[in-house]
Structure formats: structure tokens, C-alpha cells
A and B are shown apart, each in its own frame.
Chain A
């Protein structure tokens, strides 16, 4: 599986996780399925919103952007180009920093862990590792031949 395919699959899963948290933030679906975790503590903390928007929707937008770039990058026209790879690495770096900050808040400020948020953070970290690995890897496609 190509890195962009791996990223597309991870971004799709991450998008659904963020969407579930976002729908809960809108009051759809009632109680979060969280087992023994502290999802509700996190989701009702003052950090659950950023600039008046539930944090989960930043995740929805971020994963959607990553998914779109990965799918476009899989089109034959873009397959051999590095642009989508670099853009994915840049988006994933933003995403991993953002989810890292949220995880820090959960652990050291709110003192509660939301399993769905951790799942999202892990997915974003995997996307970042894959995208960074792809960005620093030598292109696998052959360089154009030049006639003598």
C-alpha cells in the first residue's frame, strides 16, 4: 500500500472519530460511549471549544483536508509529484501539534482522559509518521531520461 493510501484510510477513520465527537458536542446522540474514561469531563471542560467552535470540528475539517489531499494525490496526474506528499506532511504536522496540545490539556490541566480523543491523537500521529516518512524518502518513480 502506498503512503498516500495509508494516509487516506487513517484520515477516513479519524474523520469519523472527530465527527462522532462533533455530533456529541451539538447534543446529538446523548451520552458518549466512553467505558470507564473521562470523555464527558473533557467534553464539558472549558477547553472543549476554541473560538466558539467545538474542538472536534477542527478535527473534522483537518481530517477532511488530509483525506482530500491524499485522494487527489492518488490520481494518475499527481502520483509522481511530490507536492501532495509535502502538503500532507505539512497538514499532518499541524494536526499532530494540535492533538498533542489537546492531549497535554487532558493529562495535565483537565486531569481526565477521553478515549476518543486519544484515538484521534494516535491516528493523527500515525498519519504524521507516514507523511514525514514519505516526504523524506527518495522518490520511487524513475527520473525522466535525457537523451545524449
Chain B
């Protein structure tokens, strides 16, 4: 029996050592992708778009992946907008990053979407980040989760990892945020319809607001 307790003690020590190892060797989110760069360059990129290039109306959305209102808009309103306005060729939608500084992983999420976008999967990653938004409420390091989102979005994870580690699009994201500031964006989501800000008072714009506006603009063009 004594031998059993010695063995149990040795096993306990081994498990404690393993636990400490597991807790200490966790990589944190790479700083290059989480922090604003010191120098901001214009690479000519003006956001990913969805919809026809010939659509008469363009909506530009300034958004933050960690923002709950943006997630609500993306999951509740956007499917209807896609169906009624984008697929029908009436509207082209442009997504611009506007990471809110107080959001711990907003910039990191924007970077994950850009790294997916580099592989042609921006909108797939956009949907992963917004439709599985519980990551934004936990405050936990989402590195592993974002990698899983990337995989689900059909992204080559090795290339994605390299992109994230290098912070390849940090400058592009900060440029987009500064562009938003110049356009007086002070919260997310903010929308511009053919360059004019859409205002719906304190409430979040709904798909009906866009439909009404698009219909009235189309009627004016006739």
C-alpha cells in the first residue's frame, strides 16, 4: 500500500509539472497584429467589396469585428441586404476597418480577416468572426479560435499563421481607421451611401432603411 501512495505522489508531481508547462508555453497574440503600427502607409487598398462593379449605389461600412452592434448588424440585417440589394445588382458593399481602441482584440480580428482576404476568403472570415461572436465576450486570447475560423473559411492555415505573425496588414488597418476618422466616423457601425453618411438616430440601421434609401435613389436616377 505504501508503494501505491509513493506512486500517487510521483504522479501528482508529474501532473503539476505538466500543468505548469501547458500554462506557461501558450503563445500570446502577436503584437504585430494587435497593435497599431508606428508608421502608416497607403497601399492603395480601399476595402473588400461584395456586389456588382456596375451597381449604381455603393455602401461603405466602417466596422469593428469586436463590436456587438456590428455583429448584430452582420448577422440580422446583412443577410436580407445581401439578398434584396447586393445579389440583385442594386448595391455594392464595401467593408472598411475601424477598430475601436478600447476593444482588446478588434484590431487582431481585423487582421485575421485581412490575412484570410489575402487568400480570397475575406467575406468567409468576416462571417466566421461575426456569426461566432462569443469570442468577443470572453476576453480570452482568441488566437486558436481565429485559426479555427480561418480553417472553416477555407484558408491555408500555414500562410495565415505567417501573415498574422508578421502583422502584414497592420498598416492597412490603421490607414482605414484614420480614413474613418477623417470622415468623422466616431462609432461602429457607420455607413456611407454613395458618400453620404446614413443617419438613423440612436438606433442601428435596418435592412429596410437601406432598401428605402436605395429605392429612392434609384427612382431619382430614372
Partner of B8, one of A9, A38, A41, A44: A9
The stretch of A20-28, A83-91, A94-102, A139-147 that contacts the partner chain: A20-28
Chain B residues proximal to chain A, CB less than 8 Å: 1, 4, 7-8, 11-12, 15-16, 18-19, 22-28, 132, 134-135, 138-145, 148
Q: Does A129 make an interface contact (CB < 8 A)?
A: no
A40 in contact with B22 given A5-B4, A74-B1 (CB within 8 Å):
no
Chain A residues proximal to chain B, CB less than 8 Å: 1, 5, 8-9, 12-13, 16, 19-20, 23-24, 27-34, 38-41, 44-46, 74, 112
Could you name 26 residue pairs across A and B whose Cβ atoms are closer than 8 Å?
A: A1-B4, A9-B8, A12-B12, A12-B15, A16-B16, A20-B22, A20-B23, A23-B23, A27-B139, A27-B140, A28-B23, A29-B22, A29-B23, A29-B26, A30-B28, A30-B143, A31-B27, A34-B144, A38-B148, A39-B144, A40-B145, A40-B148, A41-B145, A44-B134, A46-B134, A74-B4
Contact, CB under 8 Å: B141 / A12: no
Contact, CB under 8 Å: B22 / A33: yes
* Shortest distance between the CB of A29 and any CB in chain B (Å): 4
Q: Return chain B residues, CB-CB under 8 Å to A33.
A: 22, 25-26
* Shortest distance between the CB of A50 and any CB in chain B (Å): 15
Q: How far is the CA of A20 from the CA of B144 in the complex (A)?
A: 16
Q: Return chain B residues, CB-CB under 8 Å to A5.
A: 4
Q: Return chain B residues, CB-CB under 8 Å to A16.
A: 15-16, 18-19
Q: Return chain B residues, CB-CB under 8 Å to A27.
A: 138-140
Contact, CB under 8 Å: A41 / B28: no
Contact, CB under 8 Å: B15 / A13: yes
Q: How far is the CA of A30 from the CA of B4 in the complex (A)?
A: 35
* Shortest distance between the CB of A63 and any CB in chain B (Å): 12
* Shortest distance between the CB of B152 and any CB in chain A (Å): 9
* Shortest distance between the CB of A53 and any CB in chain B (Å): 15
* Shortest distance between the CB of B108 and any CB in chain A (Å): 13
Q: Return chain A residues, CB-CB under 8 Å to B143.
A: 30-31
* Shortest distance between the CB of B121 and any CB in chain A (Å): 18
* Shortest distance between the CB of B1 and any CB in chain A (Å): 7
Q: Return chain A residues, CB-CB under 8 Å to B8.
A: 8-9, 12
